[in-house]
Each structure stands twice: as C-alpha cells, then as structure tokens.
Structure 1
Amino acid sequence: MIRRQFAALLLLFTLVVPYAAFGQQPQPPAEDPMITKIKDEGMNRSQVMQTLSYLTDVIGERLTASPNAKRANEWTRDTMTKWGLQNAHLEAWGPFGRGWTLKHFSAQVVAPQDLPLIAYPKAWSPSVKVMSEMPSMPAAKGKKPAAAAAAPQPSSTVTADVVFLDAKTEADLDKYNGTLKGKIVLVSQPVEVKALFEAQGRRQDEKSLLALANALPPGQGGGFGGAGGGGGRGAGGQQMTPQQRQQQLFEQAVFTAKRWNMLVDEGAAVVVDVSPRGTGGTIFVQSATVAPAIPKSVEEMRTITRLSPYDPKAESKMVPQITVSVEQYNRMIRMIQQGEKLKMTVDLAVEYQDQDNMGYNTVAEIPGTDLKDEIVMLGGHMDSWHSGTGATDNGAGVAVAMEAVRILQTLGIKPRRTIRVALWTGEEEGLLGSRAYVKAHFGSVEGGPGQFGGGGGGLGGGSNANATPAKLTTLPEYEKFSGYFNLDNGTGKIRGIYLQGNRALRDLFTQWLMPFRDMGASTITISNTGGTDHQSFDGIGLPGFQFIQDEIEYDTRTHHSNQDVFDRIQADDMKQAATIMAAFIYQTAMRDEKLPRKPAPGR
C-alpha cells in the first residue's frame, strides 16, 4: 500500500513539475519603448536608400583626395546639418598626397581585327603621353610654300604593337631587353575561367553563425588575429621552413621589382594586366604600381621604403596601367601564342590634383545631456575605389550611419552622452582617416608587435619579435570614450557583432540584440575581424566594433569592382542595419556606465 501511494505521488510529481518549471521560465524583458520607436522609424519611414543614391549616383566614385571625395564630405556635412545635427564640420588629416580624376578612357584591339575591350585604368595611373606632329599642308599651285609643321603636341591616345611579357623568373626577363619601348605590354599570365555552379550571392546560414558563436578567443586559434598559418609549400609540395618561405618571398620581390623597373626604364607605352578575379565583365581594379627599389637582402625587403602611387614623386616611376576583363585578356594571350600580331589603341587621360594634399573626415554630433563630455561614436568610410560608385564599399556603411543618426534626431532623442558620427576617408589606403582621427583625439600606441586590434597590438604592420615594448600615449578624451560602432562589409543585413576579444560585453550585447532576433540578428562572437575602421579604436584599447553581416555578393562581385554600384544594394537589409545601428548607439549613450574595456596595449 505504501509503495502504491508513493508511486502515485511520484507519477503526479513528474507530470506537474515540468509545467511548473515551464511556468517559472524567465521571460525576456519588456522592450524599451524607445527601441520600439526606433524600429518603427527605421523600417517604415527610412531614408537610407535616398541618401545612398545621392552619394553613389549623383556624386559617384570617391577616391581619397579627389574632387568627388571632397564633394561627398561637404554634402554629408550639409545634409546632417539640415537634419538638425550640430557641429557638423570637416576635419583635415594628412598630408595624404595628390588627388586623381579620370578624364576619358577607351581601349580596344585594332589589328588584326577590332575588339572593344571591357577595361579600366588603375587609380593614380599617369596619362598616356605621346607626341604627335601636325603635318604641314602642301602649298597650293602658284602659292607660297606652306608653313613648317607645327610643333609636336602631346596626345593621350596611342596605337602600338602588343607584347606578351611571358616572364616568370629573372632569366626570362633577359630576352625582352630592348623590346618594350613604345609597346603595349601584357604582364599577367592567363587565368582559368571556371563555370559558376554556385550562386554568387549568399547569406550567413545556421552553420556559419554557429561557427562564429563557438569561436575561440583571439590568440587561442580562433578568429582574426589568432594563430598564424603554416609556412607554405615549395615546388615539390614539401612544407617549407620559415627561412625557406622568406627566401621565396625575397626572390619573388626581386623579380617583381626588376620587371617593373624594366617596363619604366624601357618606356612601355601602356601596361595591361588581367582582373585577378571576377568573370562575365566584372573587373576588380585598385591602384597603379610604382616601380619599387630592388631589395638586396631579405632584411632590406622588409624595411625598404615604397612610394605610394598618390605621392607626387611616384609619377616618374610609373607607366600608364589598365586592367582588362579575364575572358578578353585570355583571348589576346591565345591569339599571340598562335602567331597573331596584335595592335591596340588606348586613350587614357587623367588629371592630378596637387592644390590640396590633405584628406578630410566628416564629423557631426547629437549633443549629450548630463554625460555630455562622454562620447559614443558610429561611422563608416566614405572613400571608394574608382571603377564603380562605391555603393557596397562603403557607401552602404555611410548611408547606414547617417540614417541611424537621422532616426535618433527625428525621434527627439536626448542622449546622456554625446553621439558623434564620423565618415572617414583614406580607409582604402590603410585606415588613414580614422587612424589620424584617433591619434588626434584619443591617443596612440608606439612600438609593440604592430598588429591591428586583437587586444594588444598597435597600428601597423605584422608582428616583429624584436619590436620595442608597446607604449600607449593617451589624450583627455581617451577616458571619456565609450564605444565606436562601424559598418563596412557591404549591403548585407546585420546578423550580430564581433566582440574583438572583449568578453565582458557578451551579455550586454546579447540583451541589446534581443529585440532584433526576428530580423535575423542574434549572433555574438568573441572573434576579431579586420580590415575596417573599428581597428583604429581597438588598436589603442578603445571599444571598437564591426557588425557581422550577410555576405550577399561582396567578395564575389562588388568589393573593389566595376560592379560596386547602387543596383547591387539590398534595400531591406539597409533598413534593418540602420535600425540596429541606431539602437546600439542609443543604448550606449543612455546606460549609466561606459562600455567595459579589455586591457589596453602598452599599459
């Protein structure tokens, strides 16, 4: 009897307790009414696409220090002033170097048959310069002899024989000595084109987001800034030692330097290479190459000074340079290999701007109240490459940051901390605008391993075992800074955020993302990510963050390509990103404490 009663009680307990436990589960906190308003304004009355269209369609490409970049600086300043932001202004940084504008360009094969080319010049490439004589007119019968021919006039159009510089070693270069003057020279090896069996666009899936969520902390083999890879493999497939790898890199550097110096010294008319990736008319193109000094040792290879193409002194060490689509470039190579004698006509005229060698960032604020001396920042870089209009890289980030502050301003937010939006230039050349801003306002790190971010590095190149210890120098605003939020991974929606190794923020950011789980944003990763302006802050120990985003077509089609245009933008993703950015800025501005920090380098 006792056993039967006990069994009955046990059965009742097992049936009731799960329901009781379920009823006691903690419920998500009620959504902050202001977050609800931010979501409503951001998703239902967005202006993000109008902002982006003006920036990309009307202003267009925004190469650092170009007239278009300055126009974008001024337009963003004036637009945010109209929205009611205060202290909107341009902050100079630099000196940077010369601006560059493409005036006109065309390229085509003209013999043995006509073939218009999908091609684009490299940024800061010089113009084609050939001297053309104006023929004298014959004297009419019974008239005085005609005047002599006019003095030669510079022309930006050249028609010349095409040469394939088929060299892979220093010895290969010797057979081209004395053959390149006035020629149009193809310098790339042909590139295999494969069928695209997978979609060019993709979103983060459950597997990729789970991998991010489960990543190891930086320095423990996970995320950007973790353990380095192996030393590579030699020609025989055997693993190379670090010394062998260094020697291989040295030999490649010597060959590359000698090839470029040969092209400049012999006077090649135009250098043509192939788009390193992209097919079907997509061209990825960046800066022109400056003929470098030839290193004499591995150590000199590491320390040798290289001129940037935007340095005025570099023009004499460059030749006109263009990039051609892979399918057409490959065809030209095959024609030459089968004995055809090609001629090309290239018209390339550019204009350098040397009047103002400074770069500019656009800065504007929503003033704070009781904690107005403390700062919350957001932004993205406004400069772009030149073959597209810089829509996904990074007009999208600029438009999202501007839309975030528009949302907050429209809602009449009275933030406790001052909200400061910064739109950078010089990012594509090495985070130059944001690094200069951080140094001028917050501080800098000297020495150390020279890594971006990752909790311990300064701002610079790769690690160096012999580097001096890191030394952090701070300015008064350093202690008043709360956090910086950046968007610079294309048009894709926000899926979460990188903690940059700052584990103290996991719970807080998880809570801030809860209202956006139904929008697909919930992943927190301890990992670092690189290549964006948040590193300028993270590198000196300030909280700086980049959001996790969907890839869409960023690496496959738009990043630094001629397809980086407004039509590749996903409007709903942009609205979602701006809404989440606004919410994170609001939360950071309103909380009692500044965001917690990880240990700063050099302290």
Structure 2
Amino acid sequence: MNKIYRYGLGLLFLVSVKVQAQNEVIDAIIKEATENSKLEVLAHEIMDGVGPRLVGSPQMQKAHDLAVSTYESWGILARNEKWGEWRGWERGITHIDMVAPWTKSLAGTQLAWSPSSPEGGAKGEVIVLPEFTDSIAFQKWLPLVKGKYVMISVPQITGRPDYNWDEHGTPESIEKIRAERTKINESWMKRLQATGKNRTQLPVALENAGALGILTSNWSNAFGANKIFSASTKKVPTVDISLEDYGLLFRLAESGKKPQINLNAQSKETGVQPTYNTIAEIKGTEKPDEYVMLSAHFDSWDGGTGATDNGTGTILMMEVMRVLKQVYPNPKRTILVGHWGSEEQGLNGSRAFVEDHPEMIGKIQALFNQDNGTGRIANISGQGYVNSYEYIGRWLNKVPRDITKDLKTEFPGNPGAGGTDHVSFVAAGVPAFNLSALPWSYFNYTWHTNLDTYDKIVFDDVRSNVILTAILVYMACEEPELVSREQRIPINPRTGEPTEWPSKRSPNRKGGMN
C-alpha cells in the first residue's frame, strides 16, 4: 500500500508540475500579446504601406516579400512557395469627371483587370441601357453605343440602408420603398435578360460595338459602400461608380439632358506573374514531423486595402507566430503558418498546398483558419469530426473566460464545403477549424468593398483573437497524441438523408489568362 501511495503522490506531483508549466506558458502568451502587441504596426505596414493585394499584382508580391522579411526579423524561418501563375495587372489612377451639363468629379474606380483609357482619358456622352423587346432589338440598337459610355447597373431609388429606413421611416413609407425597390430590380433584370447576354457577355458585346467604356454600380446596401470585383472587358475600361454619382448620371441621361464624362482610368498589363503562398515555421523539438497549422489568405480584392478581408486574419496569424516564438520557442510539434494566395478566385493557394504536400496531410494535428473580419472570435464548428468536442473543448478551457464567455460552439457540426481556406484541408481529412468572428457589419460595409480599409480594424478584438488562437495552438502542440479524425457523414438538412464528405479539388494554377 505504501508503495502505491507513494506512486500516486508522485503521479499527482508530475501532473501538478505539468499544469503549472502550462499555466506559465499561457500567462506568458497573455502578457506578450497584451503588453507588447505589434498588431497596429503590422496593419500599417501591410494595409497602408503595401496596399491591396490582388493576385498577380506588384502589391501581392510586395506583401509576400514583406511577410518573409518580417518573420526572419523575429527569428522565424519563412519562404515564398510558388504554386502557379496569374495574369499580371497593375492599377493606376481612376479620374471620373462629369463635364456636362455641369462639372463634378465623381467617386468611382476601375474594376480589377480593367483595360486602360487612352492617355489622358476620353470624353463621351453617357447613355442608359434601354428596354428591349428581345435580343434582335438589342442587336439593332448596338451601333448606337459607338463613342459613348453605357450604364448597365440597376439605379437605386434610395441610398439609405434598410436599417436606416427601419429606424426613421413610417410603416407606410418602409413598405412603399421596399415594393418600389423590388419592382425596379425585377424590371432591370428583365431588361438585361432581353439582351440575350449574361453579365459577363454584355460588357464584351458593348465594347465590340464601339462603346468608350462600361459604367456599373454594385451597391453593397450600406452607406458609401460598393462591391468591387473584376472587369470582363478586354479593350475598354469598366468602372464602378458610387451609388450617389451613378444615380445622378442615370437621372440626367433618362431625362434627356445628355450628361458627358471624361474618364481617365489607367492600368497596366504586366504579363504572366508567378503566384505564391508565404509559409513560416517554428520547428518542433519532440515531434518535428507533426504539425499544428495557422491559416489565413493573404490576397484581397482591391477596392479598398483588404483590411478585414483578410488583413485582420493575416496580422492575427503573424502576431500569433511572433508571440509563440517569444514564449514557446521550442514547441513539441512544428508550428506552421500558411498565408495563401488567390483565395478570392477559388481557394487556389490553400488547395495547391494540400495537393503539393501529400506527405504532410496525415500529420497535421489541427489547423486554425480566420477570414471573416475584425471582430472577436464568436463561433467554432467541429467540422464534422466526431470527437472534436473532446479536444477543442479541453483546449478552449485554457483560454481566459472573459474571451470565451460569448463563444458559441457546434459539435461535431458539418464539414465546410466552401467559403474559405480551412475547407481545402477538411476535404483532405485534416481537423481544420474556422475561427468565425463577430461581423461588425462585415458583409455590407467591408467585404469586397471600397470601404475595407485600416480604419475599420477593431484592434482590441484582434488582440483577444491572438490570445485565443495562440493558446489553441500551444495546447494542440502539447497534446500527447494526434487527435481523432473520425468523421460524421453530414446530413442534408432539407431531405434528412446522408450526403458525402467534401472532396478535394485542384487549384487553378494558370489564372485570368483566357
């Protein structure tokens, strides 16, 4: 009995020592992330210094090189890993000036990969895509666009978001404005359908008929916010104009006042450009060939500077690596971070990594991805892994309660099939988890808009996310064995029938060159 008692005391002592050591590391993580944060510096260097990070652009390459040099300055091994090629394009100035019936500088910008205006711009009348009885009528009208700018987006009847109407409008006015909006949207959809062209084909048909340029306005249902995506034209510029200024031009054109603009949209094709992922690592000591991964896409659309999509995910993962290098420099497993390229065009960078590193896939303990804005992490799903509650729950238990008190979890959940980079790994059977954040009006105000800029970052929330993520990584590294990968086949919520686990997809390694 005495020997057993002594053994029990010894085991209890070892457990106590281990817990104390864990608590010391966690306390150090919290202290470093709170008192020595580099988030503001990183955000300034990436969002303000480099700017938007469109795949194939010079800014994307500058961002990759900046990340490598920053990691190296922290004593962390880093590299840019080529996975494909993309159409190179460099944004220049966009100046849009209404010159008749009066003079006004308009707010707008060219879409990504838009062709350039003639040097100094080109002046022309603005016309509205009219109503057609059918595609034959559209073809007969086409010659009239020569030398003109054509408006092809639905005009908005109000620039006030729904919440503003709900706050101040009468029930009658709210009902009326929504009915009018529905009517005009349906009418415009019929107008587009009558051309016989889809949204990609219509601008091409107009430029081939001699239009000077294409004018769009993709309102994001928020004050001052427009979605900025890519152009389909090959010869003339496509520009997105703010709701307010687009409405002005539209009303003037519809009333016969023949507005004119001078559009100077400069850009440059730069040929085929290599595309990269930036990979950094802190080598493991006991199990260096097993991995805990951090994940965030590095690229962005370029209407703003990609601050919340996905600058905040990027600086989060960089700061986690910096903090762990300071307080946990000799992890049990290798800590790896992937800053992916071309997520916005179909998760291409992360899919390429999965395809190019099959030897690693079975040795990834867990992956933590973040991609939806600046808010505090508020939701974690088990992604369909049957035992995810057991280990994620234990790891989260080490995170301070003031960080996790409002965190919602769903276990085992369903596997992600699209949307962001963790799904590239889930499809390969990796326990990969998305750290979903509070929205902060993300989808209307900053997601792919002209307003996605540094000033929208909520740094205190990102600091909270650094602490949570760093502790999850630490705990995953210290886990004695690789966690279970047992999967629950997802159920279709509409039919109640079993479906299939998401399948791996290959990346597009030659983008934008068709």
CA shift, 1:33, in A, is 2.8
Partners of 1:272 and 1:602 lie apart in 2 by: 39
Instruction: Pick closer, same or farther for the CA change 1:180–1:251 going to 2, 3 Å.
Output: closer
CA displacement 1:81-132 (0-9 Å, x = unmatched): 111112x11100112x222112222002110111211101000000013xxx
CA shift, 1:535, in A, is 1.1
- Residue in structure 2 matched with residue 570 of structure 1 by the alignment: 458
Partners of 1:280 and 1:552 lie apart in 2 by: 14
Larger Rg: 1
- Residue in structure 1 matched with residue 79 of structure 2 by the alignment: 89
CA displacement 1:279-324 (0-9 Å, x = unmatched): 443222111125xxxxxxxxxxxxxxxxxxxxxxxx3xx5310001
- Residue in structure 1 matched with residue 55 of structure 2 by the alignment: 64
CA shift, 1:389, in A, is 1.0
**Would you say 1:160 and 2:124 are equivalent positions?**
yes
Gaps of 5+ in 1: 1-28, 130-154, 201-234, 236-248, 291-314, 443-475
- Residue in structure 1 matched with residue 475 of structure 2 by the alignment: 587
AA matched with 1:534 = H
- Residue in structure 2 matched with residue 79 of structure 1 by the alignment: 70
CA shift, 1:262, in A, is 2.1
Secondary structure of 2:142 counterpart: coil
- Residue in structure 1 matched with residue 344 of structure 2 by the alignment: 428
Q: TM-score, normalised by structure 2?
A: 0.81
CA shift, 1:164, in A, is 0.7
CA shift, 1:72, in A, is 0.8
Secondary structure of 1:98 counterpart: strand
- Residue in structure 2 matched with residue 142 of structure 1 by the alignment: none
Contact 2:285 2:332 in 1 (8 A): yes
**Would you say 1:345 and 2:262 are equivalent positions?**
yes
Contact 2:415 2:502 in 1 (8 A): no
Structure 1 counterpart of 2:297, from 377, 381, 387: 381
Instruction: Pick closer, same or farther for the CA change 1:258–1:50 going to 2, 3 Å.
Output: closer
CA shift, 1:160, in A, is 0.6
Contact 2:293 2:335 in 1 (8 A): yes
Sequence identity (%): 32
- Residue in structure 1 matched with residue 388 of structure 2 by the alignment: 505
- Residue in structure 1 matched with residue 169 of structure 2 by the alignment: none
Contact 1:164 1:186 in 2 (8 A): yes
Matching of residues 238-249 of structure 1 within 5 Å: none
CA shift, 1:528, in A, is 4.7
Secondary structure of 2:387 counterpart: helix
Secondary structure of 1:595 counterpart: coil
Instruction: Pick closer, same or farther for the CA change 1:506–1:569 going to 2, 3 Å.
Output: same
Aligned residues: 441
Contact 1:492 1:550 in 2 (8 A): yes
- Residue in structure 2 matched with residue 187 of structure 1 by the alignment: 152
CA shift, 1:252, in A, is 8.9
- Residue in structure 1 matched with residue 218 of structure 2 by the alignment: 275
Gaps of 5+ in 2: 1-18, 166-182, 184-191, 488-500, 505-514
CA displacement 1:323-372 (0-9 Å, x = unmatched): 01112212221122212111110001101221x52201111110001111
Secondary structure of 1:372 counterpart: strand
CA shift, 1:197, in A, is 6.4
Contact 2:354 2:424 in 1 (8 A): yes
AA matched with 1:90 = N
CA shift, 1:589, in A, is 1.3
CA shift, 1:199, in A, is 7.9
Contact 1:541 1:598 in 2 (8 A): no
Structure 2 counterpart of 1:372, from 288, 297, 305: 288
- Residue in structure 2 matched with residue 516 of structure 1 by the alignment: 400
- Residue in structure 2 matched with residue 403 of structure 1 by the alignment: 319
Matching of residues 151-550 of structure 1 within 5 Å: 155-167=119-131, 170-171=135-136, 173-193=138-158, 195-196=160-161, 198=163, 254-256=197-199, 259-290=202-233, 315=234, 318-354=235-271, 356-442=272-358, 476-514=359-397, 515-519=399-403, 520=405, 522-525=407-410, 526-529=413-416, 530-550=418-438
Secondary structure of 2:144 counterpart: coil
Contact 2:135 2:195 in 1 (8 A): no
CA displacement 1:192-247 (0-9 Å, x = unmatched): 325346489xxxxxxxxxxxxxxxxxxxxxxxxxxxxxxxxxx9xxxxxxxxxxxx
Contact 1:123 1:288 in 2 (8 A): yes
Q: TM-score, normalised by structure 1?
A: 0.69
Partners of 1:258 and 1:73 lie apart in 2 by: 34
AA matched with 2:409 = I
- Residue in structure 2 matched with residue 447 of structure 1 by the alignment: none
Instruction: Pick closer, same or farther for the CA change 1:602–1:110 going to 2, 3 Å.
Output: closer
CA displacement 1:26-55 (0-9 Å, x = unmatched): xxx987332222122212221122111111
Instruction: Pick closer, same or farther for the CA change 1:597–1:251 going to 2, 3 Å.
Output: farther
Partners of 2:445 and 2:222 lie apart in 1 by: 9
- Residue in structure 1 matched with residue 484 of structure 2 by the alignment: 596
Contact 1:373 1:480 in 2 (8 A): yes
Secondary structure of 1:64 counterpart: coil
